[in-house]
Amino acid sequence: MTYKNYPMVSRVVFGRGSFNQIGDILAPKRLNVKAPFIYLVDDVFKGNAWLTSRVSLAYADELIFISADEEPKTSQVDELVEQIILTHKDRPSGIIGIGGGTILDLAKAVSIMLTNPGESKDYQGWDLVKTPAIYHVGIPTISGTGAEVSRTTVLTGPDKKLGINSDYTPFDQVILDPELTKGVPKDQWFYTGMDCFIHCVESLNGTYLNAFSQSYGEKAYDLCTEIFLDGSGSEEDLQDKLMMASWHGGMSIAYSQVGVAHAMSYGLGYLLGTKHGIGNCIVFDHLEEFYPEGVAVYKKMKKIHNIEIPQGICSQLDDYELDIMIDVALGLEPLWENAIGKNWKKTITREKLKALYQKM
Ligand code: NAD
Ligand code: ZN
């Protein structure tokens, strides 16, 4: 047995208002005046001076607003990289992602593809990246995915939705400023928050579980119930807690895996473009047989916050389309092995997944 030797985020700042320090944090990392910092910022912040006025652009620095309406695609990563290479003489000093999982994943992928040849689709998988990425910084503005701490960047490519999992993917620096999450709409807060909750349930109930994952998973699970079930404490307290829950949830799956909800949600995402947070919620609603306790708690949370989950999104799909989703889901073997065990193929049949999808 050889144990994996994982890299982690090397530096992290936590605190309300810590985003103010961004200039001081980046300054020593500037390579030269021609090597810019490139900021990839969720376009929900366009015209929002409260946030953007704190990003001071010097020399050739550039701020690019990006829509998070669709999840990152390999083609989008390749276009961004090309645009950056064509616009700037020198390789950037750093890439800074400011936004949710969508923007954080783009920032990670762009920083990798600036130093590695070819197209980003060639790196979807495990440990395919050969050259270290350029310095990259993650600044989450919504909490739950754990993308700020993880070793992957999830991309939709021409033939699969799969992460670039590599030692060079994690951020060199993360700024955790819970104040940045204050404008998140309620439904989205719930969907992305549930991503964290589901990470915990899948990790804690998986066959890959070990004390490392359990310690992080239990902490994140408890924080989620404090936030979504009890809900006591000020708005600020709840924002702080969810940001740390996201971090711990991400750490929990580093040394284990996610499970059934994620496998099936990737299928929905690939075929229908259903976004990760809401997709997980749609799937998790129907997973009592796999996660009885987790699903019961989830349903309570949904009721408390009056959240409607879309129904019947698969009811009109034909067999061809269902097969595409089933292929994507079944392709994620480590997730099933974690969820069910080594012999998962005995119970997780195409018919089984078809019946589940048809309920959604
Ligand atoms: P997101 O980044 O897609 O954003 C969701 C919505 O919230 C968007 O409309 C965005 O504009 C808005 N938003 C974000 N911050 C806001 C703010 N402060 N105020 C107002 N609106 C705000 O959402 P997400 O759930 O964080 O990310 C989903 C993505 O994360 C998916 O692409 C998924 O694949 C990825 N993901 C990655 C990992 C990983 O480890 N790399 C893990 C889980 C999910
Ligand atoms: Zn997730």
Atom of ligand 1 nearest to the CA of 250: 40
Backbone angles phi, psi at 129, to 5 degrees: -85, 130
CA of 189 to the centre of ligand 2 (A): 14
- Between the CA of 31 and the centroid of ligand 2 the distance, in Å, is 35
To the nearest whole number, what is the mean pLDDT of the chain?
Answer: 97
Confidence band, pLDDT 50/70/90 cuts, at residue 276: very high
- Alpha-carbon distance 125 to 153, whole Å? 10
Instruction: Write down how long the chain is.
Output: 360
**If you ran DSSP here, which 8-state letter would residue 178 be given?**
G
pTM above 0.95, yes or no: yes
Whether the pLDDT of residue 160 is over 90: the answer is no
Using the Cα atoms of residue 300, residue 302, residue 308 and residue 311 in order, give the sign of their dihedral. Answer: negative
Tell me the C-alpha distance between 126 and 115, whole Å.
18
Q: Is the pLDDT of residue 4 over 90?
A: no
219 — pLDDT class (breaks 50, 70, 90) = very high
pLDDT bucket at 187, cuts 50 / 70 / 90: very high
| Mean pLDDT, range 71-97, rounded to an integer | 97
Mark out the alpha helices in 226-273 (DSSP H runs). 235-254, 260-272
Confidence check: pLDDT of 159 > 90: no
Question: Which amino acid, 79?
Answer: E
Residue whose CA lies nearest to ligand 1 atom number 10: 68
DSSP 127: S
Cβ of 71 below 6 Å from ligand 1:
yes
pLDDT band per the 50, 70, 90 thresholds, residue 359: very high
CB-CB contact of 199 with 146 (8 Å): yes
Name the residue with the closest Cα to ligand 1, atom 44: 145
Q: What's the CA-to-centroid distance between 188 and ligand 1, angstroms?
A: 9
Cβ atoms < 10 Å from Cβ of 29:
15
